[in-house]
Amino acid sequence: MKKRSVAILSSAVLVMALMAGCGKADNNAQPQTPTNQTEGSGQGNQAADANDPLVKFPKLTLPFTVEPNAALVEYQGGTMNGKEFEEFLRVINFMNPQQGGMIEAADENALKAFAREYTATKILAARADETMKKDSKELAEKTFEKIKTQYMGLLDKDEAKFTKLMEGQSVSKELVVNQMALINDSINVLKKGINDAELKKAYDTMDKASRTTASVRHILISTEKRKPEEALKLANDLEARLKKGEDFAKLAKEFTDDPGSKENGGLYADADVTQWVPEFKDAALKQEVGVVGPPVKTDYGYHIIKVENRKEKTFDEMKESLRANALEKAYDAFGKNELDKLITKYNLPKVNTPAAK
């Protein structure tokens, strides 16, 4: 399970994951083929199915069976039943197919975590006022249209295929919108306790690096493929060529050992410098803009670096990311201080044992 809770991922964030990859992520579980993910597909149809975009988004195969009215979680003031839980999981899969892979591969601990997340969503959403509920529903409606637009782009803009996809996943527009609105309600309740003054205080206490983005071109000469002295010599040679005016992007495509930036001419654009290893981050923060610096050594090898631009983000530019961090902390605090005290009993079904092959 990822650290960030399903319950506080707004539907606007969840939908973006749709474009990150089609189909289920394996999450270190056994790979699942179309034959064990969809109903009615056989070995002989796999080649034909491969051309069908609907196969990329198979129906969620739940790792358990449960009666719709069974009370899976009991908490002060209510219960969470089997029907609600199944609908929640199917909607999460529809909004984020990669999370669907996590659901299908869930063991008993992971299943309990999903149930706890959804119970938290229900408890928090019940505290929403009418204004919050109105805003949540409107956002859910808009987000559904974004989800639909993204799916349609992957389904040849065929409305019938989108309808068939939803039917195949056992979801409807009403179900998706209602579940997203519930999630949004829980987020709005947590947001109520987060004001701009607190966010500004968090911004003011951040170090400069945490507020800085930079566009950096680099060429990595790896020490995995060659001796350190050979790597340094090549790096020095490339630095000299660049300082004589040769094109950085062209040399990066030819020489860099970094696959993540090779096709982009060595460029990482508008990136948070804190994501990089200390030596690279230090160069991104301190090296003169527009100047090719001497090779920088990291555990990966030697980097020839050119900082193309660098800026410190303003409070307004960082406010929403700060709010997201504050939301995560607020949810963690709710879980630690309230949720587990409010939940009185788990009655979760056993996870199905995989069939022997």
Mean pLDDT of all residues in 253-260: 96
**Residue 198, token pair as written in the block:** 């607190």
Give one DSSP letter per residue of 272-338, joined into a string: EGGGS-HHHHHHHHHSPTT-BPPPEEETTEEEEEEEEEEEEPPHHHHHHHHHHHHHHHHHHHHIIII
Which helix H or strand E contains 62, and what residues bound it? none
Tell me the domains of the chain and their CATH numbers. Answer: 6-39+50-192+321-346 (no CATH), 211-312 (3.10.50.40)
pLDDT at 32: 32
CA dist 179 → 174, 175, 186, 315, 347 (Å): 9, 6, 11, 32, 22
Nearest to 278 by CA among 255, 262, 291, 296: 296
* Category of 114 on φ-ψ map: left (φ > 0), alpha (ψ -120 to 50) or beta: alpha
Of the listed ranges 15-29, 145-159, 233-247, the least confidently predicted one is: 15-29
Q: Is residue 161 within 8 Å of 32, Cβ to Cβ?
A: no
The string of pLDDT tens digits covering residues 67-113 is 999 999 999 999 999 999 999 999 999 988 888 888 999 999 999 99
The Cα 61–Cα 287 span in angstroms is 52
Instruction: Please state, as a whole number, how many other Cβ atoms lie within 10 Å of the Cβ of residue 222.
Output: 13
The string of pLDDT tens digits covering residues 197-256 is 999 999 999 999 999 999 999 999 999 989 999 999 999 999 999 999 999 999 999 999
pLDDT at 33: 28
The string of pLDDT tens digits covering residues 32-73 is 322 333 333 343 444 445 567 678 888 899 999 999 999 999
The Cα 5–Cα 92 span in angstroms is 12
pLDDT at 145: 95
The string of pLDDT tens digits covering residues 299-348 is 999 999 999 999 999 999 999 889 988 998 999 999 999 999 999 999 99
Q: Is residue 256 within 8 Å of 347, Cβ to Cβ?
A: no
Nearest to 119 by CA among 170, 70, 84: 84
Q: Which residue has the higher pLDDT, 100 or 171?
A: 171
